[in-house]
Amino acid sequence: MAKNVFLASTDSAADKNALVKAFLSYCQAQGGRIGYFQTLTAAADNPKFAEIAGQLKAKPRDLYGLTIDEAVALLNANKKDSLIEEVLTRYGQIASQFDFVVVEGGDPAPQAAFELQGLGATLAANLAAPVVILSGGGLPLAASGVRVFKERQAEVLALILVDQGTESEAGAVDILKGLTVKAVKSSDLDQIPGLIAAQIQAFLPTVVTPKRFESDLIDRAKANKKKIVLPEGDDDRILLAAEEILRREFADLVILGDPAAIKQKAVELGLKQLDKAELVDIKTAPFRQELVDQFYELRKAKGVTPEKAEAQLLDRNWFATMMVKAKKADGMVSGAAGTTADTIRPALSIVKTKPGCSIASSVFLMCMKDRVLVFGDCAINPNPTPAQLAEIAVISAQTAKAFGVQPKVAMLSYSTGTSGAGPDVDAVNEATALAKDSATKLYPDLPLDGPMQFDAALDPKTAKGKMPNSKVAGQATVLIFPSLNAGNIGYKAVQRTSGAVAVGPIIQGLNAPVNDLSRGCTVPDIVNTVAITAVQAQ
């Protein structure tokens, strides 16, 4: 069900303000808490903000994202992502207070007009809003406006033609087919909300942009804040990411390292938020002996002596993992300066796998331009057995669902159905059967099928020809690769050729969240991984 509606106009001849007032009036008459937000405004002191703020008992500044001048400055500084994040953050503050939000697109403006029109569509897509476009400049302009929104993955629900054209004429234009089109006089705009209310009410977003996914993820982390330990306090990227995390207030942080050196580096980097983090020197931590004693008790059956325990916990990853085990932190993120083994080995020894999980495995959340796919296992298990592959498939489906992806699991191979043969195909066939049996007990009604090729998993036309009776082929959301070799190549190929944002690897199957970073990770990668770890800890 829709939680908002996005109102846009193609030209100044269309009275967007009248449509906004009509929607606010109509929605308020239906009951519930109705909010208002404008993405970009020509003037921060627009009288309408004060008027609407009075009705909503809000502050005028809460009712818009940025001024157009601020937006243009960010665009000129090549900071479009920061612009989108700022608007989404401010929208989220309003959306949390209301049941439904009437969102107004940006005002027409001469500054960077073409870029701003496209930006409005991008913001609509990131707000997961059904779009209603108002046009008073002729059918070609209306069609052009719809195209701008659709090309940027925004979901256009309706087109309102003001004092021009007819609905039948609009229906003959390809780009407008399938839309609800209403042709009205400017004096009748107040009728529009009632005419399309049912479509808005029934709207379910099908597009998930990378920024939308990240925004939802951070909102979930904020809702039940957890403490995450970052062992690599000597890495500038970790400190820069910590600054962003603390600024956005979605997790509490413990950073391991020399506190004096971290504070000095914070000054050099111009960081203002790190005083909110807990800085811990693993050699002098007040709870060090407690962790050493616990580690000794856990590992003495494996030949660990008190002296060996003392020495082992001079390693920052082992120390951080013991913090998670001792519940002095809820999760851990490491790997910016080390190998996956450096992060995972302590976790397998101390945190261990969950009951029923024979192995730890990993997935990447692949944020495509319009959806999120889950790829596993791309980081840990080189050559899983059929039984292990089946386990990876089922737990990857659970991970997908935990992060808002409705799982439809494809077991990948170089063969689709019975088109090929050989040991590798036989292994995927066996894994598919085992996964279906396991899912019957652990995850009833899980759509899972295989073996299938990558194109058959994702492309409906290919699927129709190769696996016409499959409930997964052509619409898979969780893709299970038969080996680490295939998975690692696969996720990097998709990431680099499609521009997808790869979030992960997310380690699954452990008793507490411990996640690994790539040594080539960026600051946004770290921010997203901490958010994921915080959500896992919930």
The span from the CA of 331 to the CA of 245, in Å, is 15
**What is the pTM (predicted TM-score) of this model?**
0.76
C-alpha separations of 534 from 57, 225, 329, 462 in Å? 33, 7, 10, 38
Question: What is the longest distance spanned by two Cα atoms in the chain?
Answer: 85
Burial (Cβ within 10 Å: 0-12, 13-18, ≥19) of residue 398: middle
Which stretch of 157-161, 209-213, 349-353 has the lowest confidence by average pLDDT? 209-213
Question: Can you list the domains of the chain with their CATH numbers?
Answer: 4-206 (3.40.50.300), 208-352+513-538 (3.40.50.10950), 356-509 (3.40.50.10750)
Question: What is the pLDDT, as a whole number, of residue 284?
Answer: 92
Indicate if the alpha-carbon torsion angle 296, 256, 514, 486 is positive or negative: negative
Q: What Cα–Cα distance (Å) separates residue 207 from each residue in 90, 187, 212, 399?
A: 21, 34, 9, 20
Which residues, 6 or more positions from 22, have their beta carbon under 8 angstroms from its beta carbon? Answer: 189, 190, 191, 192, 193
Q: How confident is the model at residue 58 (pLDDT cuts 50, 70, 90)?
A: confident
pLDDT at 476: 93
What rounded mean pLDDT belongs to the chain? 87
Average pLDDT over residues 340-352: 88
| Helix, strand and coil in the chain, % to nearest 5 | 50, 20, 30
Give pLDDT tens digits for 465-499.
Answer: 888 889 999 999 999 999 999 999 999 898 888 88
Beta strands, E only, 293-407: 331-334, 361-367, 372-376
Q: Given a cut of 60, is residue 34 above it in pLDDT?
A: yes
pLDDT digits (tens, 9 = 90+) for 399-409: 998 888 889 99
Rounded to 5 degrees, what angle do the CA atoms 60, 63, 65 make? 120
Mean pLDDT over residues 421-442, rounded?
Answer: 85
For residue 196, what pLDDT is reported? Answer: 87
Whether the Cβ atoms of residue 326 and residue 294 lie closer than 8 Å to each other: yes
